[in-house]
């Protein structure tokens, strides 16, 4: 996985944006599960005119109910290149602002997703595919290397 610093002039080709969202003490991560049993993080395709940040915020809201004001993130993103250059996915790394927000009811489209829930990091290490584990580990490494950050 590659780390980038996002800004409005971010020129990398991308088609999906999302957020790897951790609870306030970073002991749990929010996961989404599709009806085909694929497990991952909140993300989705860009809509016309959106920036990467717009897409990421919209997808978190649509797939969990969390508003951008509920979590903190800086402008670091983790890039995942899929089969072609145009199939790049970028994730911001977010942390809920308070412990209480973890209990906020999760709101999502049950036609689109089977389940959205918080799981422990240990559970995630067992449940995620190798590719998604790489993304999670990149986010965890980011936190361990940036202890004094505000995310």
Q: What is the pLDDT of residues 3-42, one digit of tens each?
A: 555 555 555 566 789 999 999 999 999 999 999 999 999 9
CB atoms within 10 A of CB 126: 9
Backbone angles phi, psi at 2, to 5 degrees: -115, 140
pLDDT tens digits for 59-76? 999 999 999 999 999 888
pLDDT at 79 over 90: no
Kindly state the tokens that stand for 93. 């790394």
* CATH-assigned architecture of domain 2-145: Alpha-Beta Complex (3.90)
Task: Map out the domains of the chain as residue ranges.
Answer: 2-145
The pTM for the full model equals: 0.87
Q: Helix, strand or coil for residue 38?
A: coil
Distance in angstroms (rounded) separating the CA atoms of residues 26 and 126: 17
Q: Among 45-49, 99-103, 145-149, name the most confident range.
A: 99-103
* Confidence label for 151 from pLDDT (cuts 50, 70 and 90): very low
């Amino acid at each position: 996985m590659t780390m980038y610093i996002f800004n409005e002039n971010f020129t990398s080709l991308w088609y999906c944006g999302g957020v790897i969202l951790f609870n306030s003490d970073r002991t749990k991560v929010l996961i989404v599960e599709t009806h085909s049993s694929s497990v991952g993080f909140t993300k989705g395709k860009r809509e016309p005119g959106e920036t990467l940040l717009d897409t990421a915020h919209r997808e978190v809201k649509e797939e969990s109910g969390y508003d951008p004001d509920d979590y903190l993130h800086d402008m670091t993103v983790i890039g995942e290149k899929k089969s072609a250059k145009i199939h790049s996915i970028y994730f911001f790394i977010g942390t809920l602002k308070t412990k209480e927000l973890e209990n906020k009811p999760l709101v999502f489209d049950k036609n689109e997703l089977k389940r959205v829930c918080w799981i422990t990091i240990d559970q995630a290490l067992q449940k995620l595919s190798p590719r998604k584990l790489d993304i999670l580990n990149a986010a965890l490494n980011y936190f361990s290397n940036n202890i004094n950050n505000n995310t």
